[in-house]
Amino acid sequence: MDIVVCIKQVPDTTEVKIDPKTNTLVRQGVPSIVNPFDKNAIEAGLRLKEKYGGKVTVVSMGPPQANDALKECLAMGADEAVLVSDRAFGGADTLATSYTLASTIRTLGHFDVILCGKQAIDGDTAQVGPEMAEHLGITQLTYVARIDIQGDKVQVYREHEEGYEVVEAKLPVLMSVVKSINVPRYPTVKGIMKAVHKDKIRVLSAKDMEVDMDRLGLKGSATQVRQIFTPPQRGQGILIRQDSARKSVDELMAKLTDAKIV
């Protein structure tokens, strides 16, 4: 089974702080990580490989530094890694990014399954997966929490507002996975050695692929960021600090009743 996993290197947004004086983002000291949902996608890919054999290829679009993220994926057990990197990709929105990644996957050749995380924690759009599936003309299964493959058929649990939706499709498919699907493994020492010592990361630029240059990067993007700003704060409320839980609860109930909330 040929498995492609798309990953993104992101700043760890849980470590990002807002400078209260300047009201701007403090990025200093914030580590770059493999997008957490993408790690679930790699884990899902590795488990499919363990069950059905084949190869796991990890693909990432980003600046040269994204190599570090790909190395981590190799250390987890991925067989090959491809970095798609070119100044021409800069400023890409989801439409241009998905076009670039789909073109990359086409360049790589045959695949049965494409996996990605449900969304990246920096952009939070959850769009690149479905848009890649559209560019490639294949079936998409989003918010997947469980995968069963039998022959050329895949059955998945999709997260849904009211529960899990069980859906069946034929390969090839693109699946975006949620966190509850698995617990990603840690890189092994052997894996790390392999990732560090062997130059397994193939780098592709725009000229290595058959692409329409007008559909890449900023030029190929349909959306444009007008401005960014920090979210407004909610007003400060009432803090209740009595010396016993009993008194605190009584005070809370009295205040809620006064304000006609209950």
Partner 1 sequence: MAIQFTDACIGCGACEAQCPFGAIEIKDGKARNNAACTACGACVDICPVGAILRVEEEKKVEINKEDYKNVWVYMEIAGGKLRNVGLELLGQGRKLADGLGEKLAAVLIGENAEALAKEAFAYGADIAYVVEGPEYQHYTTDAYTAACEDLIKTYKPSVMLFGATNDGRDLGPRIACRIGTGLTADCTGLGIDEATGFIAWTRPTFGGNIMATILCPDHRPQMGTVRPNVFKKPERVEGRTGELIKVPGKIRAAEIRTKFLQIIDACTGSCNLEEAQIVVSGGRGLGSQENLKLVENLAEAMGGMVGASRAIVDAGWIDALHQVGQTGKTVAPKIYVACGISGAIQHLAGMTSSDVIIAINKDPEAPIFKVADYGVVGDVLEVLPLLTEEFRKLRQERN
Residues 60 to 119: which contact partner 1 by CB under 8 A?
A: 62-63, 85-87, 89-91, 93-95, 98, 118-119
The enclosing H or E element of 84 equals: strand 80-84
Size of the site for partner 1 (CB under 8 A): 98
Among 50, 180, 190, 193, binds partner 1 (CB under 8 A): 180
**Distance, CA of 57 to CA of 51 (rounded, Å):** 16
Are the C-beta atoms of 85 and 68 separated by less than 8 Å? Answer: no
Q: What is the 3-state secondary structure (H, E, C) of 101-129?
A: HHHHHHHHCCCCEEEEECCCCCCCCCCHH
Q: Which residue's CB is nearer to partner 1, number 56 or number 133?
A: 133
Q: Which residue's CB is nearer to partner 1, number 59 or number 178?
A: 178
Nearest to 68, CA basis, from 192, 190, 188: 192
Mask of contacts with partner 1, 16-35, x by CB under 8 A? x-x-----xxxxx---x---
Position 142 contacts partner 1 (CB under 8 A): yes
Position 234 contacts partner 1 (CB under 8 A): yes
Position 150 contacts partner 1 (CB under 8 A): no
Position 126 contacts partner 1 (CB under 8 A): yes
Shortest Å distance, C-beta 157 to partner 1: 7
Are the C-beta atoms of 90 and 24 separated by less than 8 Å? Answer: no
Look up residue 194 and give its two tokens.
């392999």
Q: How far is CA 192 from CA 33, 146, 186, 197, in A?
A: 16, 28, 10, 8
Mask of contacts with partner 1, 203-232, x by CB under 8 A? -----------x--xxx-xxxxxxxxxxx-
Q: Which residue's CB is nearer to partner 1, number 111 or number 157?
A: 157
Among 21, 29, 150, 162, binds partner 1 (CB under 8 A): 162
Q: What is the per-residue burial (b if ≥16 Cβ within 10 Å, else e) of 61-91?
A: bbeeebbebbbbbbbbbbebbbbbbbebbee
Shortest Å distance, C-beta 204 to partner 1: 13
Q: Which residue's CB is nearer to partner 1, number 190 or number 205?
A: 205
Cis peptide before 232 (omega within 30 of 0): no
